[in-house]
Amino acid sequence: MDLYTVLENRRSIRKYLPDPVETGTLRKLLEAARLAPSWKNGQCWRFLVIRDPEKRERLAAALPEMNPARKGMAEAPVTIVLCAKPEESERHEGKDYYLLDAGLAMQQLMLAAHAEGLGTCWVAWFDEEKIRRICSVPPEYRIVALTPLGVPARQPSPRGRKPLEEIAFLEEWGRPFN
Ligand SMILES: Cc1cc2nc3c(=O)[nH]c(=O)nc-3n(C[C@H](O)[C@H](O)[C@H](O)COP(=O)(O)O)c2cc1C
């Protein structure tokens, strides 16, 4: 699938079919994540792949009830937990680059998943300490995000985006790019 088609059609998927995800496909997705750029090539990311249904239920229960991704997390056959070790990245001028490093890797995984016909959904609203306990994540790692992974039950319609004129400027702040 062409990259622009992937970018245009990816959606946050919150409803899944029970169809399994093959180990070979998971490996491809993790390889896609591994290729991401990072601060000084520190590669602070770690990925936990959770297939065990009981563990996935517990992970879903670590999301607040109000989190719209909660139900889909329990439905999808795989949950991926994105962790990062801040020491393998850097805080530079007040900016924590481990979040950016880990986020880039996760997004690569998510785009690759879409190219494979699989759905994902960024989940960043959860109880970090509960997830740490469920997955035995060591204290030097932060848990940055989770995603369910599986075959989408449906393709949601696109969420709107701000128009280009509002977000892109030419040469100086406020001068529209067009
Ligand atoms: C950093 C981040 C955190 C997010 N956390 C959640 C979340 O906890 N629950 C959820 O349902 N969606 C979450 N989302 C998904 C966004 O709601 C979604 O990307 C946005 O509404 C645009 O929709 P789209 O991804 O289908 O284009 C998150 C997205 C990002 C980038």
Residue pointed to by tokens 């990311």: 45
Digit-coded pLDDT (tens) for 119-166 = 999 999 999 999 999 999 999 999 999 999 999 999 999 999 999 999
Residue having the nearest C-alpha atom to atom 28 of ligand 1: 122
Q: Which of 80, 121, 142, 143 to mutate to test the pocket of ligand 1 (most atoms within 8 A of CB)?
A: 121
Can you state the angle between helices 53-61 and 128-135, rounded to 10 degrees?
A: 160
> Tell me: the pLDDT tens digits for 60-73?
999 999 999 999 99
* Protein residue with least CA distance to atom 29, ligand 1: 122
Q: What burial letters (b/e) apply to 133-148, b meaning 16+ CB within 10 Å?
A: ebbebeeebbbbbbbb
- Return the pLDDT at 133: 98
On the question of pLDDT at 78 being above 90, the answer is: yes
| Domains of the chain, earliest start first | 3-167 (3.40.109.10)
The answer on pLDDT for 108 being more than 80 is yes
pLDDT of residue 159: 96
Model pLDDT, residue 178: 77
What is the SS3 assignment for 85?
A: coil
What does the pLDDT average to over 12-38?
98
Mean of per-residue pLDDT scores for the chain: 97
Task: Read off the pTM.
Answer: 0.97
Q: Are 102 and 35 in contact (CB under 8 A)?
A: no
